[in-house]
Chains A and B, each alone.
Chain A
């Protein structure tokens, strides 16, 4: 399952210097490993941006990367988070997906893929560069 949350976050850097970013970016990948984010809006003049953080607890992910709403709520307490936001017009219906691009095998009758010896149900097939890929988790 995909979990998601909208946050208003302080910014660092500048667009002119080519490094405008949410202020937590510099430590994000180490401290919040397993959580991903998209930036929907910057207000550089006022020093904030709107970020949508998301994660998945799908078993295809390694255990240390399976995260849920509890982890997003911890992240919402980060000192660079100004506040939680309820909605944003650019928040997309699908914010993220977990996909298998090169399964070991596919069973199209049971809608299952096998990867690294494990069998997983897929939600739907998609095409990337003319190649079938299998969506395991999205929204």
Chain B
């Protein structure tokens, strides 16, 4: 297996580890191409099986009342690329967002592609951003506590967004063309700790 070489640090955020280090998840059962990096605003990850497939499980610490935990592939990709990811929340909670699949080039979402499951509803909104200007649209409701498969087909002229094998939307404006890193994120802005009991299952990678 190759070493996990990281050429890119996405965010500088407080890391909840005694030594101040970033967590790098080396996931034993997952093929080398799917190594993930984890930056933590207060949580931890482990590997568990969901329907027979190894997933990264993200858990937010009892002390975390506001923060995110993200996993992402340690490589950048350019269009054309197809990325597929599965994700499942263990419960619908107020003020907890999940980003089951996204890509971005750096902090601030200046260039990006994403699915976002909003905490206020079951609705998923999808976004493209190019040089700081974004297009966003709302899709039909999906229950985040059921495992879903998310896929983006990214070309230089548009992005096709699939959920569970069905195309849900296509965006052709503000389509990013710079190299970007795939990520999946679990975020809590509720002001209350999630008490280590609401894990977020996530796993995915590049198809082409």
Contact = CB atoms under 8 A, between A and B. Distances in A.
Indicate the size class of the contact surface on chain A.
35 or more
A33 B157 contact: yes
Interface stretch (B19-27, B44-52, B168-176): B168-176
Contacts of A35: 172
Contacts of B109: 101-102, 128-129, 131
B162 to A, nearest CB: 7
B199 interface: no
Given A28-B158, A101-B108, A102-B132, A39 B137 contact: no
Interface of B: 66, 68, 97, 99, 108-110, 112, 116, 123, 127, 129, 131-140, 149, 151, 155, 157-158, 160, 162, 164-174, 185, 187, 189
A90 B121 CA distance: 14
A29 B137 CA distance: 16
Contacts of B158: 28-29, 33
A36 B133 CA distance: 15
Contacts of B155: 29
A119 interface: no
A85 interface: no
Nearest to A90: B140
Interface of A: 15-22, 25, 28-30, 32-42, 54-56, 60-61, 65, 90, 92, 94-103, 115-116, 128-131, 133
B107 to A, nearest CB: 9
Contacts, number: 131
A29 B172 contact: yes
Q: Which 10 A-B pairs have the closest CB atoms?
A: A29-B158, A18-B165, A21-B167, A102-B132, A29-B157, A99-B134, A96-B137, A97-B136, A38-B169, A102-B110
Contacts of A60: 133
B166 A39 contact: yes
Contacts of A17: 165
Nearest to B123: A92
A95 B129 contact: no
B136 A96 contact: yes
B165 A28 contact: no
Given A56-B173, A61-B173, A131 B167 contact: no
B39 to A, nearest CB: 13
A37 B169 contact: yes
26 contacts: A15-B164, A18-B162, A19-B167, A21-B162, A25-B170, A29-B155, A29-B170, A29-B172, A33-B172, A38-B168, A39-B168, A92-B123, A96-B138, A97-B135, A98-B174, A99-B127, A100-B134, A101-B108, A101-B109, A101-B132, A115-B132, A128-B109, A129-B109, A129-B187, A130-B189, A131-B109
Given A36-B173, A92-B138, A100-B133, 9 more contacts: A21-B167, A29-B158, A38-B139, A54-B137, A65-B172, A90-B140, A96-B137, A99-B129, A130-B189
Nearest to B189: A130
B143 to A, nearest CB: 15
